[in-house]
Structure 1
Amino acid sequence: MLLTITPDDALIDVPRRIAVQGLRPGEGVTLSTRTVRGPGVQWQSSANFRADEAGAVDLTRDAPVSGSYTGVSAMGLIWSQAPEVEGAPREVFAAEPAAALVTEITVTRDDATTLQRSFVQRLSADGVTRREIREQGLVGTLFLPAGAGPHPAVMVLNGSGGGINEPRAALYASHGYAALALGYFKAPGLSDYISNTRLELFETALHWLHDEVKPKHGFVALSGQSRGGELVLLLGSLFPDLVSAVIGYVPGAVVHSAQNACDPATGREGPAWIFRGQPLPHLWQNNRTASWKPWDEGPQPRRHTNALLTALQDADAVERARIRVEHINGPVMLLSATDDGSWPSSLYGAMVVERLRGFKHPHPVEHLDFAGAGHSIVFPYVPTTQLVYAHPVSGRLSTTGGAPAANAQADEASWAGVLRFLNLAVQSK
């Protein structure tokens, strides 16, 4: 029996060919995986296959007869992984955020004979460097690609969970971009809450990137997820001379209040963003239709989207809170999901496209809307099974929506789309 994994050591976004040879024709075998993720938690999957007439199983070709996933999926054993212990943290990256992940695959035959091999998923390519940034009030991590540069740059912003998104920044750097993962709350020395975040912080960070990194063609893109997706659209509209392109993962089309990431002292209807000393008007402010009831009292697992849909019924409040995306001076990419449980990103993406079209935006606008997927669109070949979670700030249980297979497809297609979008944006600068 021979188990091959090709390639066995590569970037995380590279699909692998997993194949078994030397079996008896029609023999049943089980392939199982185990990966240590997050704070020492074992994640696992298992699927049963039947060998073809040549005695081979090839995951790029063969669907399992039963197991953790269905259908043909070369990386199904990875995206279908789940924590070994129920209720374990859903974090899928190591304690060192940009560290490589090692997955062990075991093949078990009917006679209990086993064979094991492992493969490595890396977030940082050879030559990528990591530097912690603690200056000018900035708290973040800068990843630089191999080579002297100059390189185009990307600033990476997290959502309502806060923190510093090192994995995505490391992967951007692995594809040739100087990537600054910037924290703005729940990071060392910063507030634990999104409430009253000063937007001048990001203005400073943009100037710092231009001055320190001196990016190729002066190109600085923004990439943000969820609240970070709202934020990058907002920053692109406020600082158009500093931003070359905007990538909004499951973004908002309007300014929101602090919501689940709020400081309890100011509450979930308090402001998230402060600009030039004034809170920005947000959706919940003086809203005639908004109600938290669908969220507070809705059936488990709760969907935050249902509360926001009540607020979106007040057209005047929506217009007051709408992000002026027409001021963005560059191409815009939106990635959304039709079954988003956290907020209606599919609708928000359509609202942004409609507004840009109405103002005859002179730059490319792309909207990838993934059917059946949920809020957690990241990048390829990570587990997509943890749909219900406790919010990292409020602790409240909710669902991000979607289904594992649809989420995995969105992860793969979105990342390919983003890399293509960035390449074209840099070329056109």
Structure 2
Amino acid sequence: MASSQVRLRILPSARCLFDKMVQIRLEGLAPHKSVKLRSKLVDDRGVTFTASALYVADKTGQIDLSTSPSLAGSFTGVESMGLFWAMTPDTPHSKYLKKNVLSPTSVEFQALCEETGELLASGTNEREYLIEGMKRIPVAEGNIRGVLFIPPGEGPFPGIIDLYTFGGGLTESRASLLAGRGFVVLALAYYRYNSLPKNPQNLNLEYFEEALTYLKNHPEVQTSRIGIISLSHSGALALSMASFFSGITATACINGCTANTVIPVHYKNQVLPPLTPVIKNITVTDSGLIDIRDALPDPTLERNRSSLIPIERATCHFLFAFSEDDHNWNSSFFAKQAASILKSHGKESFELFGYPKAGHFLEVPYTPFCPSGFHGAVGREVVFGGEPKAHSEAQLHLWEKVQLFFKTRLGSKNTAV
């Protein structure tokens, strides 16, 4: 039972959007009392993520995570959101999974006496994905499958297609939060979802063209203001859409590749074969994880050019973001290569952001860090790279840059608070 004198406060509110910062404060402690703070969440797969930190109350009996340093635990120093970004899974190599954005992510906190383990106080932060009045509409129109998010207020709004990473299914977290900033966002699945193929032999760009047409024709969407956001494998799909389709204004490619990978891409009479990995460049870490960072060759070499995406044909603005410690592949090389290709064709319509010590999955802020996990194309656990704090800082910075990018290039009616 918690002590009646000690109070754990979550400010400004115990309910907030998932990407918002909160202030954690303990009050009513004995002066200079040592306290262990723990955080815990359970994702939609049932995997538990936890973090802990040791604090000492000030002379007034308070601990404020925005000013009080952690002395030991999952992190040290003053880290107001450390109990969020430092969480690790109890099952190794697990990536945080959130499928149902209609329910918040509950982060539970406990304050324990460091000496006895007695529970002093507890609280829960409900981190939501949908702002009030947002519409979430499952989409099964023609061939396309996904979920459409429409913000409240008077439209029409700019539109964005959200493409997630390799592995199939549908991820709605980023799409729902981005829609809260004044965009209509289509979270688009492209395999292993509903009636879509589980193991496609190729990916037809006509499917993505149909999705683009659907979004442009929606009455709540401004037809001339369409963007794409992508991550990892879907980066090549986003670049292909920008290269082969008209009517795309802005494309964000996060830790992507300049060439097609894994699954052949077909469009009309053209085929982009997957870039063939160099097996001898694959290594194994001391912990037994596969490291594929250097497996992909340079797609601009003559023998690989059939896999290279012709981004010089694109007329949109680009945002290329890369993690310098990405071990899924060499994102830094590919992002800089994309910028170089555009420059060589007289195009300067791109932004380039690099993040030292960040790993592969740059998600929305405060998503638990994923340094390793199962890779569908490899069939084993691989290392994804990065360091927790640097990765968290990268996610926070990039999220702001992504919103500014789309607001600048597409305009928006910001509705989130």
Q: Please give the TM-score of this superposition, normalised by the length of structure 1.
A: 0.88
**243-252 vs 295-304, which moves further:** 295-304
Cα–Cα, structure 1 residues 192 and 298, in superposed 2: closer, same or farther, change >3 Å? farther
* 2:8 match: 3
- Correspondence for 2:63 among 49, 57, 61: 57
- Correspondence for 1:247 among 246, 252, 277: 252
- Correspondence for 1:99 among 95, 100, 103: 103
- Correspondence for 1:378 among 337, 347, 363: 363
* 1:27 match: 33
**369-378 vs 145-154, which moves further:** 145-154
CA distance in 1, matches of 2:68, 2:32: 13
* 2:3 match: none
CA distance in 2, matches of 1:15, 1:51: 22
Cα–Cα, structure 1 residues 88 and 114, in superposed 2: closer, same or farther, change >3 Å? farther
CA distance in 2, matches of 1:399, 1:89: 12
- Correspondence for 2:346 among 360, 370, 374: 360
CA distance in 1, matches of 2:282, 2:84: 32
Cα–Cα, structure 1 residues 113 and 291, in superposed 2: closer, same or farther, change >3 Å? closer
What is the SS of the residue equivalent to 1:152? strand
CA distance in 2, matches of 1:135, 1:32: 45
What is the SS of the residue equivalent to 2:157? coil
* 2:210 match: 204
Cα–Cα, structure 1 residues 191 and 298, in superposed 2: closer, same or farther, change >3 Å? farther
Deviation at 1:382, TM superposition (A): 1.6
Q: How does 1:218-237 map to 2 (within 5 A)?
A: 218-237=224-243
**386-395 vs 37-46, which moves further:** 386-395
What is the SS of the residue equivalent to 1:203? helix
Higher RCO (C-alpha 8 Å, min separation 6)? 2
| Cα-Cα RMSD | 2.1
CA contact (8 A) 2:225 2:248 kept: yes
* 1:77 match: 83
Pair 1:189 & 2:174 matched: no
CA contact (8 A) 1:41 1:88 kept: no
The CA deviation string for residues 336-390 of structure 1, in whole angstroms up to 9 with x for no partner, is 1001110111111111111222222253x11111101110101101211x31211
Cα–Cα, structure 1 residues 31 and 43, in superposed 2: closer, same or farther, change >3 Å? same
1:187 partner amino acid: Y
CA contact (8 A) 1:194 1:272 kept: no
Deviation at 1:74, TM superposition (A): 1.4
- Correspondence for 1:306 among 294, 298, 305: 294
Q: How does 1:12-411 map to 2 (within 5 A)?
A: 12-84=18-90, 86-87=91-92, 89-93=94-98, 95-109=99-113, 110=115, 112-193=118-199, 195-216=201-222, 218-239=224-245, 241-256=246-261, 258=262, 271-284=263-276, 291-295=278-282, 300-308=288-296, 311-312=297-298, 315-361=301-347, 363=349, 365-384=350-369, 386-392=370-376, 395-411=379-395
CA distance in 2, matches of 1:120, 1:427: 30
CA contact (8 A) 2:264 2:273 kept: no
CA contact (8 A) 1:160 1:194 kept: no
What is the SS of the residue equivalent to 1:374? coil
Structure 1: 4+ residue segments shifted above 4 A: 296-299
**367-376 vs 59-68, which moves further:** 59-68
Deviation at 1:306, TM superposition (A): 2.1
* 1:415 match: 399
Higher helix share: 1
The CA deviation string for residues 19-44 of structure 1, in whole angstroms up to 9 with x for no partner, is 11222332211111121212223222
CA contact (8 A) 1:178 1:213 kept: no
Cα–Cα, structure 1 residues 116 and 44, in superposed 2: closer, same or farther, change >3 Å? same
**40-49 vs 136-145, which moves further:** 40-49
Deviation at 1:118, TM superposition (A): 0.9
CA distance in 1, matches of 2:258, 2:295: 16
CA distance in 2, matches of 1:314, 1:274: 20
The CA deviation string for residues 73-125 of structure 1, in whole angstroms up to 9 with x for no partner, is 211101111223x34843332x5245311111111124524211111111111
CA distance in 1, matches of 2:31, 2:285: 52
Deviation at 1:278, TM superposition (A): 3.6
CA distance in 1, matches of 2:53, 2:94: 23
Cα–Cα, structure 1 residues 20 and 214, in superposed 2: closer, same or farther, change >3 Å? closer
CA distance in 1, matches of 2:218, 2:156: 11
Cα–Cα, structure 1 residues 97 and 113, in superposed 2: closer, same or farther, change >3 Å? closer
Structure 1: runs of 5 or more not aligned:
259-270, 285-289
CA distance in 2, matches of 1:97, 1:399: 28
The CA deviation string for residues 236-278 of structure 1, in whole angstroms up to 9 with x for no partner, is 0111x2211001111111222x1xxxxxxxxxxxx42111144
CA contact (8 A) 1:193 1:393 kept: no
CA distance in 2, matches of 1:63, 1:302: 36
CA contact (8 A) 2:93 2:372 kept: no
Q: Please give the TM-score of this superposition, normalised by the length of structure 2.
A: 0.91
2:266 partner amino acid: I
Structure 2: runs of 5 or more not aligned:
1-5, 413-417
Q: Equivalent pairs: percent with the same residue?
A: 26
